Amino acid sequence: MYDIREWRHVFKLDPNKEMTDGQLELVCESGTDAVIVGGTDGVTLENVLDLMARIRRFSVPCVLEVSNMESVTPGFDFYFIPTVLNSRNTKWMIDLHHKAVKEFGELMNWNEIFMEGYCILNKDCKAAKLTEANTDLDDKDVVAYARMAEHMYRLPIFYLEYSGQYGNPQLVQKVKSVLNETRLFYGGGIENEHQAKEMAQFADTVVVGNLVYTDLQAALKTVAAVKG
């Protein structure tokens, strides 16, 4: 399925974490809509190439979520570029992006590239620390970021990121209620089918990350929970 607007469930695999071929096969053949390759730290060209080549044995769509320029490589179906809307540092909103496009603009196939407006809400996660995210936000602040993503920046994806922590379903519902064109991705702390199903009521796309590494069987069950 190569239309990201139809994705309901995706797994996010961290190139900096170990996974056997058998485990990777279960993930790629699980019925998930796509596999995103991404992480905050330790992402290198070598570990991205290795994971991409191993995922490419399967037919599942495969995305690189760019977290640094050094690890960008051809060969993925899509490239997701995060911009952290609630960062206190313009580096993570626009500066790195400007630098990358200045250098590689000629090579970029814009049809494969999708911007993700991140709103990071778990103050303790690595991405929040790295990007100096202001996580001290109330629901109205988050809803305002969502509206900006859709109406001011016309971003294809608004990503509510709780990496490592299960978020607030009521907030996800509120955010969804103000989005029409922009797709709402929810990711963070999903540990079982129940949580995956709960967030799938409101988010367009549910992202399951760390559970793949901590409890693969539980992670696999989230696919049916979300896709029904």
- Binding-site residues for sn-glycerol 1-phosphate: 12, 159-164, 189, 209-210
CA distance 204 to 41: 27
User: Which positions from 122 through 181 interact with ligand 1GP, judged by CB under 6 A?
Assistant: 161, 163-164
Q: What are phi and psi of 215, to 5 degrees?
A: -160, 85
User: Which positions from 48 through 67 interact with ligand L4TTDIOY, judged by CB under 6 A?
Assistant: 65-67
Nearer to ligand 1GP, 137 or 151 (CB): 137
Nearer to ligand 1GP, 152 or 172 (CB): 172
Residues in contact with ligand 1GP, total (CB under 6 A)? Answer: 13
Q: Find all residues with CB under 8 Å of 185, minimum gap 6, and list them.
A: 116, 157, 158, 159, 160, 203, 204, 205, 206, 207
Residue 179 near residue 211 (C-beta atoms within 8 A): no
Does 9 bind ligand 1GP (CB under 6 A)? Our answer is no
User: In this structure, is the dihedral angle defined by the CA atoms of residues 201, 204, 207 and 208, taken in order, positive or negative?
Assistant: positive
Residue 142 near residue 160 (C-beta atoms within 8 A): yes
Q: What are phi and psi of 113, to 5 degrees?
A: -110, 130
CB of 228 to ligand L4TTDIOY, least distance (A): 27
Q: Pick one of 209, 222, 223, 226: the residue that binds ligand 1GP (CB under 6 A).
A: 209
Residue 204 near residue 34 (C-beta atoms within 8 A): no
Q: Pick one of 26, 45, 58, 68: the residue that binds ligand L4TTDIOY (CB under 6 A).
A: 68
Exposure on the CB side of residue 42, measured as CA atoms within 13 A: 8
Q: Pick one of 210, 220, 222, 223: the residue that binds ligand 1GP (CB under 6 A).
A: 210
Binding site for ligand L4TTDIOY (CB under 6 A): 14, 38-41, 65-69, 72, 74, 79, 81-82, 84, 92, 96-97, 100-101, 104, 107-108, 113, 118, 125-127, 130-131, 161, 163-164, 209-210
